[in-house]
Structure 1
Amino acid sequence: TPMEEMVVYRLNVQRFTEDISSELPSAVAGTFLGVVEKLDHFKKL
């Protein structure tokens, strides 16, 4: 992918995945596995 077509996101893993709106199970909330669970969220953006 050419650099000019890329979109880069920076996020705080713990805050992003522990927020109540993430609707993640507590086993993955606050972890990188939680981010993996939310990848569809980024695809929709």
Structure 2
Amino acid sequence: MKSRQVYMTWLIAGVLLHRGLFQTGANVINLSKGEAEATETLDYSRF
């Protein structure tokens, strides 16, 4: 994975996490190409 892809993944995960936590009634959907990528992206959003 290229560094730009990793950066964008972290950035999007952070934005979605912020929306889910601080916007009332926000529905957050995160789509990925495959199950492995989806699991990795969700791991970025967990705290």
TM-score, normalising length: structure 2: 0.22
Higher relative helix content: 2
Q: Which has the larger radius of gyration?
A: 1
TM-score, normalising length: structure 1: 0.23
